[in-house]
Structure 1
Amino acid sequence: TIKNVIIMIGDGMGPQQVGLLNSYAKYAPNSIYKAKGRTTAMEKVMAAGTLGYAYHEAANVLVTDSAASATQFATGVHAGSEMIGCDQFGDSAKTILETAKELGKSTGLVSDTRMTHATPAAFAAHQSHRSKENEIAIDLLNNEVDVMLSGGLRHWIPTEASDKNSALHQQLKTRTGGKLKIKSKRKDSRNLLAEAEKKHYALAFTKSQLKQAKGSKILGLFSYSGMPNGIQETLTKNDPNRTIPTLKEMTMKALDVLSKNNKGFFLMVEGGQIDWAGHNNDVGTMLHEMLKFDETIEYVYEWAKNRDDTLVIISADHETGGFGFSYSRRNLLEPKDLPGNLFKGEKFRPNFNFGSYDILDKLYNQKLDYPDIMTQFDALPPSQQTPDSLVEIVNKNTQFPITQAEAAAVLATEENEYYVAGHQYLGAKTFPKVHDFKEFYVYSNEVRYDLLGRVVGKYQNTVWATGTHTNTPVPLIAVGPKNVTAQFGKMMHTTEWAQYAIKALR
C-alpha cells in the first residue's frame, strides 16, 4: 500500500526540454555528467519506473496555462483557464493535498517560483483567478499546509511593511538577514507571518534558518518574488556565503520533516523556472533550470527507490516555447576525409549545418539570464541605452556574440496592433517588434528577451515557435510499486493520472 505520494512538476518541461538536458549530458565536451557516465537522473527514473505521456488541455480550449493545468492534476477534474483549485464551472474542487490532510497525513509544497504562484497554489487554494496571490496566501495558511518553502514574501506581509521607516520594516530586515527586498504587494494590514506563528509555524528566510527550523510546520519564504534562476544557482551553489537554499535543499528539508509522520505524507515539488526560461526563449538559462530540477529528482529518487510505500510521479503541466535544436544553411561544415571504404576518393560533405557539440558547453557557460541582461541595460542612463551598449552586455555574459544590427533588432518597437486599454500585458501602446508569429509573443516589454533568443538562434542551432505554451504532450514518469505504477504507462489526460494518484493515496 502507498503511504506517501510525491509529485514533481517541471513547469513548461516538454519532451524538448528533456531533450536539451539529455543532449547536454550525453554530448557536451565538458558536461557535468561526465563523472556520472553521462546519465541524468531523468534517464535513471525512466529506466526504473513506468513511462507514459500526458496531454493537458484545460476545459474547452486547445492550450492550457499553468493554473488550470496544476488544478487538473491537483484535483482530477477539468478546470477553466487561469483558475485555481476549482472546476470548469467555477466551484471549489477538493485537491489531493486536502485528501491527504483528511487522512491524517502531513503535506508539503516546494517551489523555486513563489509559494502563491499557479502550481503550488492549485494544491491548497481556491480562487477564480491565478492573479489573486494575496488571497491565495490566506488560503494556503488557512489550509495549514505543514511545509511551505518557496519565494514571494511580498504576498505575506502587510502593506505597512513597505514603509522603510516603520518598526515592522526594520524588524523584517533583521529577521531576513538584510538580504531580502522588504516590500508588500498586499492591499491590507494582515501580517500573515504573525498569523503563521500563531498557528505554530517555524519561519525561515535564509538557508541557515531553514536548516535550524524545528517542528512539524515550517513556512520558508526566501525571496521577494521568484527565487534565484538556474544560472544564479549554478554560480553560487558552492559559495559558503550563500543565504538562499536551492530547490534540492528545500526538498531535502521537506522530506525530512514530512516523513516523521507515520501515517505518511503528500509532497509537491516544482521546478517552476524551466517555464520562465521557455517564455523568454532563453536556452542557456533553460539548461540550468533543467540541471536544477534533475539534481532534485536525483535526491528524491535516491530517497524513495528502496521503499515500497512511496509513489513518485514526475511530469509537467505543459511545454513552453516550442523549443528545439535544428539544422540550418548557415556555417556549413568544411569537407573532410573519412577513413571508411565508401569514402575513398570522396569527401564527407553534409549539405547543411547540423549543429556541433561545443554549442552545449557555450550554453552552459552563460553568466546571466536574459531578464538580468536587460535589467543591466535598462539601468543605464537613457542616452546610453543604445545597440552598442546592449552588444557589450550580451557579449560579456554569453558565448554567442551579437552584432550591432542584431542588438538594434532586439530593441526595435512598433505600434501595438493588439492594444487593449487597461490590460495587464496588452495595455502598452508600443510593443517590441516581432517579425513572425508576433501574436504569440504577448508579455509586452519582456518580449525583448525573446527577440534576443531568436537573434542568437542561428549561432546556437536553436529555434523557438512561441513566447507562450504549446499543447505538446509531456513526459509522465511513475516510480514505485509496479502494481501501482503500471497504470501510468499510456497516453492520458492529466486529470486521469491525478485520479490514479489520489486513489493510490487513499
Structure 2
Amino acid sequence: MLVRKPIWALSCALIFISSLSACSLLKNSENTAQSDTNNSPKIKNIILMIGDGMGPQQVGLLEEYATRAPNSIYRGDNSAIAKLANLGVTGLSLHGPADKLVVDSACSATQLATGVAAGSEMIGLNRAGHKVPTILEKAKGLGKSTGLVSDTRLTHATPAAFAAHLIHRSMENEIAEQMIQSGVVDIMLSGGLRHFVPKNYALPEHPKGFEANLKASALSPKSKRRDDKNLLAEASSKGYELAFNKSQLQQAQSTKLLGLFANSAMANGVDTSHGRVNVQPSLSDMTQTAISTLSKNDKGFFLMVEGGQIDWAGHNNDAGTLLHEMIKFDNAVNAVLEWAKGRDDTIVIVTADHETGGFGFSYSGADLPKAEQLNNHKNDVYKPKFNFGELSILDKLYAQKKSYGDIWYEAKGSAFKPTPEKLIKTVNKYSEFAINLDDAKQILAEQKNAFYQRGHKSLGLKTASKIHDFAPFYVYLTERPLNLIGRALSSKQNIVWSTGTHTHTPVGVFVLGPEALSKQFNGLHTHVELGKKMQRLLMH
C-alpha cells in the first residue's frame, strides 16, 4: 500500500537536503578561502591610505578631471587611484558609529584601526570607553616598524586614532603626549607643531640640536599648550630625529623620525599645486620618506597615510580646492603604487572615513545648450533639454588660484567681514566663476542662530551667515560664508552640495596585493569588518 507523506514533510526533507548542500558548499568555500590564505605569500607590509571625506563622488571628480578635462595635467591618463583599483580589487564600506547613523573622522578611523565599533568623536576606545589596541600598536608588538603621515595635524582625528586612546578628539595636547611617550610610532610626519611646544615657548638665542633645526626652518611656534611640557625635547631624548622643513626631512638619517612642518595644518591643495610652499614637503614627499625608512626593517611595517584636507574642502563646499586636494592625495597614492606594484609581500588599501559635503555634478535648467546641426541629421537639430555640464568646467575648477578660506581672509582683511564690492573683486580675482552684487549680498547676509548653545565651540555665536536651506547641517558658523560662496557659484559649476557636514554614503575600498588575500575586500563591508580583516592580514 502506497503511503503518501504530507506535503510539509516533503518540504522539510527538501529544506534539510538543501541546508546540507548549502552547508557543504559554504564549508567548501571556507576551506578554499582558508587554503588560498594558507598558500598565499607572507604579508610583511600594510599601507593604509585614507582620503578623509573622499566618497565615490570625490573619486569621480578626480577621474573625470584626469581623463576628460581638455587641459588635464594627467593628459587623459587615469588617476593613480583608478590605476590601483584596476590592478587590484574594489569594494565598498559603510562606516557608521556603534549607535548612530553618521560618523565623524575620529570614530571612523578608530573603527578602521581597531576593528571594534566606537562612539562618536572617540579616539582609540570602544563605545563603552575602554581602551582598544590598534593595528599600529599590534604591528609594533610584532617587531614591525610603524608610521603616520598626514597633511593636517599629527594630533588630528585620523592619525590620533591609530596611536592614542582618549575620550574626545579635541584633546590634542594629550594626544601629542601619548604619541611621544608611548614610542609606538617610529615615523610621524605632519603639521601640528603648536601641540608639542610649551606655552610661551621661545627659541634660545643660540639654539642647539633640534632647536637649531627649528630656527633654521623659519617656523614661528605658537603653542596651544597650557603647561610647560616640551614634547620636542622629550621626543629628542627618546631618540627621535626632528625635522621642520623639506630639506631637513630629505637629510634625515634616523629610523625614528618626528617631522612637524606647520604650526597647525600643512598647505592646502591649491597652494601645493601652484608651488607656493616649497619649504614644506608634499604629502607625496612625506609618504616616500616614510616608506623608504620603514622598509629598512626586515620584519616589515604598518603605515597610515591621510589626505586630510579633502574633508575640509567638502565642509566648505569648495569644489576647486576639493579637486586640488584629490590631486594632492592621488600623488601620494601614485608614490605608493610605484613602490608596491609587483610585490607579493605588501597590501595597499585606499579608502575613506566618510564622504563630506554631499557633493556631486548635476544637470540643470540654467544656461541651456544651443541647438546644434549634426552632419547625419540635416532635417533636425540636436538640442538637449537641459544643461548637462561642459567638460571645460573641470579646467576652470583646476584654475582656481586660492581656497575659499583664503579668498575670504583676503577680502575681509582686518575687518569682521568684507564689503560686497571687496568680496566680488576678490572672488572674481581667484576664481574662473564670477559672483555679482546680488550674490555678494546673499553671502554677507546674517540671521539669528537658531541652534545657539552658549559655550559651544561651533554653535556659540548668536548670529550667523544666512543659510536658506538645510541650515541645521551647516554647523561650522564661522565657515558659512565659504559655503555661501560655493552656493553662489554652484549653478555655474553644475555642482550641488547637500550639507556642510558628513554623509553616510558608502566609501570605496581599493586594494592592491596578492590576489588570494586582496579578494576578501571585494563586496560591501563595514569599517569594523575592514579593521578586522587588516588585523588578520597583520597576523598572517
TM-score range, shorter chain: over 0.9
The offset of 1:299, in angstroms, is 1.0
Specify the code of the residue in structure 2 equivalent to 1:225: S
Task: Report the TM-score when normalising by structure 2.
Answer: 0.90
Cα drift, residue 215 of structure 1: 1.2
Distance in 1, Cα, partners of 2:408 & 2:372: 41
- Counterpart-to-counterpart distance in 2, 1:307 and 1:111: 25
Letter in 2 for 1:243: V
Question: In the alignment, is residue 468 of structure 1 matched against residue 492 of structure 2?
Answer: no
Deviation at 1:175, TM superposition (A): 2.0
- Cα 1:134–1:380, aligned 2, differ >3 Å: closer, same or farther? closer
Q: 1:160, 1:166 within 8 Å by CA — same for their partners in 2?
A: no
For residues 188 and 460 of structure 1, the distance between their equivalents in structure 2, rounded to whole angstroms, comes to 48
Residue 362 of structure 1 corresponds to 396
Q: Distance in 2 between matches of 1:332 and 1:27?
A: 21
Paired residue for 1:258, among 294, 310, 320? 294
Matches within 5 A, 1:39-118: 39-118=78-157
Letter of the structure 2 residue corresponding to residue 17 of structure 1? Q
Alpha-carbon distance in structure 2 between the residues aligned to 1:173 and 1:224: 17
SS in 1 for 2:508: strand
The within-5 A match list for 1:339-418 is 339-340=375-376, 343-381=377-415, 385-418=418-451
Residue 317 of structure 1 aligns to a residue whose secondary structure is coil
**Contact 2:217/2:245 (8 A) holds in 1:** no
2:45 corresponding residue in structure 1: 4
- Distance, in Å, in 2 between the alignment partners of 1:26 and 1:139 is 44
Gap regions ≥5 residues in structure 1: none
Q: Percent of aligned positions with the same letter in both sequences?
A: 53
- How far apart, in 2, do the equivalents of 1:485 and 1:95 lie? 21
- In the TM superposition, residue 353 of structure 1 has moved relative to its aligned partner by 0.7
Cα contact 1:120–1:268 (8 A) shared by 2: yes
The yes-or-no answer on 1:231 pairing with 2:267 is no
Distance change >3 Å, CA 478–CA 174, structure 1 → 2: closer
Counterpart CA distance in 1 for 2:43 and 2:336 is 16
SS in 2 for 1:112: strand
Give the Å deviation of 1:412. Answer: 1.0
The answer as to whether partners of 2:412 and 2:419 remain within 8 angstroms in 1 is no
1:456 lines up with 2:489 in the alignment = yes
Deviation per CA, 1:221-269: give whole Å up to 9, x if none. Answer: 00010100000001117x8xx1100000000000011000001000000
Q: Match of 1:86, as an amino acid?
A: L
Residue of structure 2 equivalent to 1:492: 525
- In the aligned structure 1, how far is the partner of 2:492 from the partner of 2:516? 48
Whole-angstrom CA distance in 2 between matches of 1:502 and 1:326: 40
CA distance, structure 2, for counterparts of residue 440 and residue 175 of structure 1? 41
> What code does the residue aligned with 2:134 have?
T
- The C-alpha deviation readout for 1:471-506, integer Å capped at 9, x for no partner, is 000000111011111110010101101111111111
Alpha-carbon contact 1:83-1:127 (below 8 Å) kept: yes
Corresponding residue SS for 1:336: coil
Letter in 1 for 2:355: E
Q: Which amino acid counterpart does residue 2 of structure 1 have in structure 2?
A: I
Give the structure-1-normalised TM-score. 0.96
Decide whether aligned partners of structure 1 residues 25 and 189 sit closer, same or farther in structure 2, where only a CA change above 3 A counts.
Answer: same
Does structure 2 conserve the Cα–Cα contact (< 8 Å) formed by 1:52 and 1:488?
Answer: yes
Residue in structure 1 matched with residue 342 of structure 2 by the alignment? 306
- The one of 123, 148, 152 aligned to 2:188: 148
| Aligned counterparts of 2:463 and 2:449: Cα–Cα separation in 1 | 5
Q: Which residue of 1 is the match for residue 31 of structure 2?
A: none
Q: Report how far residue 166 of structure 1 moved.
A: 8.7
3-state secondary structure, aligned to 1:450: helix
Distance 1:165 1:218, change over 3 A: closer
1:13 equivalent to 2:54? Answer yes
CA contact (8 A) 2:349 2:509 kept: yes
- CA RMSD in angstroms, aligned pairs only: 1.6
Structure number, greater radius of gyration: 2
